[in-house]
Structure 1
Amino acid sequence: MWQGVIPAVTSKFNEDDSLDFAEMRRCFALQIDAGVDGLIACGSLGEGPMLSHEERIGVLRTCIEVAGARPSLLTVAEASTRDACALAEKAARAGAAGLMVVPSTIYHSDHRETVAALRAIAAAGDLPIMIYSNRLAYRVDVTVEMMEELADDPRFVAVKESSDDIRRSTEIINRLGRRYDLFTGVDNLAFEALAVGAIGWVAGLCLAFPHETVAIYRLVKLGRHAEALSIYRWFRPLLDLDVSTYLVQNIKLAEALAIHSNERVRAPRMPLAGERRARAEQTILQAMATRPELPRLV
């Protein structure tokens, strides 16, 4: 159902902490113009948990406006199943193409509870769902066994695999074949995941470097692995910025430098400062100074 590069977009703020929809439209359009295959609103990178439901629906509507026929998904990541179901219903009414669903972000549910919560959210929204499995960030592992159990519900169509263990991608395919559209959600494992069978990339650094991200994906799919790997090796120090407690600040700094956006985040986050900022800025500027010439894609 879904494939390709689908970035998890950042939410943009004005100086008064309100949402900056004009800047979001500009930044999202850069992604679409570069050839991404959809947009995902209000994930971790989009500071979804810091936004009200009303704000999240506003960001989703902006994605839909800019993406047009390409799918716009809303991330559902709530502490309680009740609130997750309410958000899923709102997303459906707003016209979301689907949901990316994270298990409870506060209570670390067990196998039975996780499956029950995911089923409840699917029923509430009645939309296609990308299961977001990230045991490192959220401490709930949506295992291959759970995916197999959920496979009887056709609304579960995709998996964003972010376990940080590249072996998991092969395990999913070995167990379930192509039952789910398999996406990688770890930027600095993207080439590896695509090489072993992922058909999509939920990307982060794509927000600052969309053409390079799209080129890597398309070259892999064309079988031009050496060319893709050359770009990926250049990209790798940047991609490491996605795998960090400070991924939001890191990527917003990259957006500020590469596409002239801003670094505003919602408190308690603050923009990078000191040595941490200096290291990230050096990485970004070095990459910008050595940007590879991208090959022609047909």
Structure 2
Amino acid sequence: MWQGVIPAVTTKFTADDKLDYNEMERCFKFLMDAGCDGLIACGSLGEGPFLSHDERIEVLKVTKQVTGAKPALLTVAEASTREACALAEKGAKAGADGLMVVPSTIYHTNPKETVANLRAIAAAADLPVMIYSNRIAYRVDVTTDMLEELADDKRFVAVKESSDDIRRTTEIINRLGRRYDVFTGVDNLAFEALTAGAIGWVAGLVVAFPHETVAIYRLVQAGRYAEALEIYRWFRPLLDLDVSSYLVQNIKLVEAMVIDSNERVRLPRMPLEGEPRTRAEAVVKAALANRPKLPSFA
């Protein structure tokens, strides 16, 4: 159902901590114009848990306005099933094309609870669902066994595989074939996952470097692995900024440096300073100084 590069977009704020609709529209259009295949609103990178439900719906509306016929997904990542279902229903009414669903972010559910939670949210919205499996950040692992158990519900169409174990992509495909659209959700494992059979990339650094991200994806799909790998090797130091407790600050700093956006975050987050900022800036400057010329592709 879904494939390609689908960025997890950042949420833009004004100086007085309101939603910056104009800047979001500008940045989202930049991604779509570069060839991205949809957008995901209010995920971890989008600071979704720091937004009210009303704010998340507003971000979704901007996202859908920009994506047009391509999918705009709303992230559902709530502590309780009740709140998750309420947000899922609001997202469906507001025009979301689907949901990306994270199991409970506060209470670490056991397998039975995880499956029940996901089923309830899918039923509440009655929309296609991408399951976000991230045992590192959220300490709930949606295993291949659980995906097999959920496979009887056709609303579960995709999985964002972020276990940090590259073997998992092959395990899902070996067990379940193409029942799920498998996306890689770890920027610095993207080439490995795409060449192992993932058909999509929920990307982070794409928000500042969409052309490079799309090029890697399309070259892999065309079997032009050496060309894709050359770009990926250049990209890797930047992609490592996504795998961090400070991924939001890191990536918003990159946006500020590369596409002239801003790095405003919502408290308690604060922009990078000191050595972490210096290190991230050095990575960006080095990448810009050696930015590759992208090959043409169909």
- Please indicate the TM-score interval, normalised by the length of the shorter structure: over 0.9
Task: Provide the residue aligned with 1:19 in structure 2.
Answer: 19
Task: Provide the residue aligned with 1:135 in structure 2.
Answer: 135
Gaps spanning 5+ residues in structure 2: where?
Answer: none
1:112-132 Cα offsets, whole Å, 9 max, x none, are 000000000000000000000
1:145-203 Cα offsets, whole Å, 9 max, x none, are 00000000000000000000000000000110000000000000000000000000000
1:11-70 Cα offsets, whole Å, 9 max, x none, are 000000000000000000000000000000000000000000000000000000011111
Post-superposition shift, 1:205?
0.2
User: How do residues 70-89 of structure 1 correspond to structure 2 at under 5 angstroms?
Assistant: 70-89=70-89
Task: Provide the residue aligned with 1:122 in structure 2.
Answer: 122
Which letter maps to 2:82? R
Alpha-carbon RMSD across the aligned residues, in angstroms, is 0.3
What secondary structure is seen at the aligned counterpart in 2 of 1:164?
coil
Q: Distance in 1 between matches of 2:170 and 2:146?
A: 16
Task: Provide the residue aligned with 2:65 in structure 1.
Answer: 65
The yes-or-no answer on 1:212 pairing with 2:223 is no
Q: Distance in 1 between matches of 2:287 and 2:14?
A: 28
Task: Provide the residue aligned with 2:144 in structure 1.
Answer: 144
Which aligned segments of 4 or more residues in structure 1 are displaced greater than 4 angstroms? none
Q: Distance in 1 between matches of 2:287 and 2:8?
A: 21
What secondary structure is seen at the aligned counterpart in 2 of 1:261?
coil
Number of aligned residues: 298
What secondary structure is seen at the aligned counterpart in 1 of 2:245?
coil
Q: Distance in 1 between matches of 2:6 and 2:241?
A: 18
Task: Provide the residue aligned with 2:99 in structure 1.
Answer: 99
TM-score normalised to structure 2 length = 1.00
Which letter maps to 1:258? V
Which letter maps to 1:54? D
Post-superposition shift, 1:238?
0.2
Q: Distance in 2 between matches of 1:199 and 1:57?
A: 28
Task: Provide the residue aligned with 1:258 in structure 2.
Answer: 258
Task: Provide the residue aligned with 1:226 in structure 2.
Answer: 226
Which letter maps to 1:185? G
Q: Distance in 2 between matches of 1:95 and 1:66?
A: 13
What secondary structure is seen at the aligned counterpart in 2 of 1:138?
coil
Which letter maps to 1:175? R
Which letter maps to 1:57? I
Task: Provide the residue aligned with 1:9 in structure 2.
Answer: 9
Q: Distance in 2 between matches of 1:214 and 1:250?
A: 21
Which letter maps to 1:172? I
Gaps spanning 5+ residues in structure 1: where?
Answer: none
Q: Distance in 1 between matches of 2:60 and 2:282?
A: 33
Post-superposition shift, 1:297?
1.1
Q: Distance in 1 between matches of 2:288 and 2:150?
A: 43
TM-score normalised to structure 1 length = 1.00
Which letter maps to 1:290? N
Which letter maps to 2:246? Y
